[in-house]
Structure 1
């Protein structure tokens, strides 16, 4: 029999989420996560995927996964430090290091795991972390796990970062100081001011940490935000994901050889979690080669992003200050955001509502993600639905 305390807690809090428009309904897909998806037998134009370059459904990646299963089996069978390191893990790490222009890379089971692993392996209760207030939840959790003092600075506000870095340095309270930022902010699509951050870090001897999950495959000829700014040799930690532009699953940390050696010796997700199966690793290797040799993929991504942005702006929607293909449509009110998403769904466009705690309260939005796999016709059809629903709900 379930505990009455637990039953009461769950009932009360789930009902509260639903009443405030903060409850998320999960829709299982019947098939692949491409530009058009099938849910409950109906097709939808998909604007909610992070499959930026369309590689999740690429035949070359699928073939690599199939071949890897036949050679290595379904699972890796152990953690990396026992006998769960396959030769394909090493190949992927070497390819990523060359791609990111760093000395070495270590691969993890997810981008979230990277931030849980890397921050706490280096920072502790004697240290302080300067963290952008809009950093991803995995960064926030990684910082908490480290037990370091967390000093939040206003979003991309370099004056605020400088003031707080100076105060932390001059206080003499901390053994090490780190500054952490997303490369591209996933809910707004804006790009971190990395050149200024690097200057401030040099002035106050800050360890630099960039989570480039949404910049990889999108900026810097695919290598990400750090390369975009020409700073590959000046950032201590580069975090990346294998589940967005790469199109598969996993994450990685890129940096100096000694840093990667330390993470392999001390980061808990590496030490205590079974490694990625070869069927996930092999297609990542193929995906990196495709990104390096197919600049047209990024061109299509950006072209589709610009088409959708202009269309939404021309209709009168607020798309914020995005500098990347990520295109938020900001509604603000949580209940209206949920209703707007529901009506888009009913009209054949899958564009999920994003509300608290993913974004601040009062910051409800539809996060649109056009990909390289969309056609202009798909996006024009989605814009016509946006116009119909926007006028119906008196949002435009």
Structure 2
């Protein structure tokens, strides 16, 4: 037998790694940036059991309360009985179940796009689209407050990345002017933005961006994770509300639909190309068929029951009006559309004070997440308050009273 020339394992390297990580963890604790998972018992609804304590949930993205709707659960249960728990392979091998196809067709009809492609998550969708479409010779022009998945997808693509100040239409125009290609050039320019920004709750200036893209021959991509199902008369999202139609439309199914996963909607050519080249689609096991069945039932409910959206927007109005009466200023300065979305941030600034306020509310039975860097910029730590159609007026009034008792408004 040949001698084994491999060097012996060095136990000190593991100790060095742990020592370094322990120092970094201590630094996070000292800066009030250390994060802790909390364990939820039972369904993820308005009322929660969190680490064994009952509370009212004001930090979920389950905007229409469908994550705990029994009709959605029954749809998943039926699919579990018929299709089993997993899809077993990627969609291009043997994982593409009829439930996936039915959901794609329903989403295409609902959004008004020719085709839809399912992904396992919003992160997978955004990274898959940007890395699949763009290369080193292309240009990506992005809002500085875009979701991390859009930022990482853009960086992974290798395209020239141009960051524009938040919601600055003039800044996007300048970036498009500076990146102009010859008319016959085949390189791509893509403008990408969240539709509803997840930490501020404001809307992107989509009409202005759409007009710019048309003028400059660029493609517009929007991530409507927090608008889909919530905005517009029929719940079709920011497109319906603002009268726009981006070339690439991404939304998730883990928020208003109360399920999981995401989808990309667009032209026949776009979807066929992504099927061939989006690595996060090609190389990922397809989502469980039961999740697709649940999402399709939730989509039916959104289509058939506009009262859910009406209740959500009534709750948003009740909360924002009550906060104003208490002298609580919601949202960053100069945020437009502040009363339209269920995301209502209360900026505190200091991370330690933010977490102190979050703990104080939790002790009173209200779970409101404290959001700190790096999720938001340094000095802009906040309480991210989210409303749901499932909240009752008494829940909202109780939260406002608790906020006042915690010193977050006028005494």
Q: What TM-score do the two structures reach when normalised by structure 2? A: 0.93
**Please, which of 26, 47, 66 is the counterpart of residue 55 of structure 1?**
66
SS at match of 1:260: helix
In the other structure, the counterpart of 2:272 is 261
**C-alpha deviation, 1:132, in angstroms:** 0.3
Q: Whole-Å Cα distance in 1 between the matches of residues 262 and 343 of structure 2? A: 20
SS at match of 1:169: coil
**C-alpha deviation, 1:268, in angstroms:** 0.9
Cα displacement string for residues 7-35 of structure 1 (whole angstroms, at most 9, x for unaligned residues): 12211111111111111111110111111
SS at match of 1:258: helix
Asked if 1 retains the 8 angstrom alpha-carbon contact of 2:404 and 2:410, the reply is no
Deviates more, 1:314-323 or 1:175-184: 314-323
In the other structure, the counterpart of 1:304 is 315
Note the 1:283-322 alignment, pairs <5 A: 283-320=294-331, 321=335, 322=338
SS at match of 1:373: coil
In the other structure, the counterpart of 1:217 is 229
In the other structure, the counterpart of 1:281 is 292
Aligned length: 392
In the other structure, the counterpart of 1:339 is 356
Deviates more, 1:307-316 or 1:16-25: 307-316
**C-alpha deviation, 1:227, in angstroms:** 2.1
Asked if 1 retains the 8 angstrom alpha-carbon contact of 2:181 and 2:187, the reply is no
Matched, 1:124 2:135: yes
In the other structure, the counterpart of 1:83 is 94
SS at match of 2:130: helix
Asked if 2 retains the 8 angstrom alpha-carbon contact of 1:325 and 1:370, the reply is yes
Cα displacement string for residues 148-172 of structure 1 (whole angstroms, at most 9, x for unaligned residues): 1110101001111111111111699
**C-alpha deviation, 1:395, in angstroms:** 8.2
In the other structure, the counterpart of 1:186 is 198
In structure 1, the gaps of 5 or more residues are none
Q: Whole-Å Cα distance in 2 between the matches of residues 138 and 109 of structure 1? A: 13
In the other structure, the counterpart of 2:210 is 198
Note the 1:1-396 alignment, pairs <5 A: 3-169=14-180, 175-220=187-232, 221-232=234-245, 235-320=246-331, 321=335, 322=338, 323-390=340-407
Q: Whole-Å Cα distance in 2 between the matches of residues 95 and 361 of structure 1? A: 42
Q: Whole-Å Cα distance in 1 between the matches of residues 96 and 186 of structure 2? A: 36
Asked if 2 retains the 8 angstrom alpha-carbon contact of 1:120 and 1:145, the reply is yes
In structure 2, the gaps of 5 or more residues are 1-10
**C-alpha deviation, 1:269, in angstroms:** 1.4
Q: What TM-score do the two structures reach when normalised by structure 1? A: 0.96
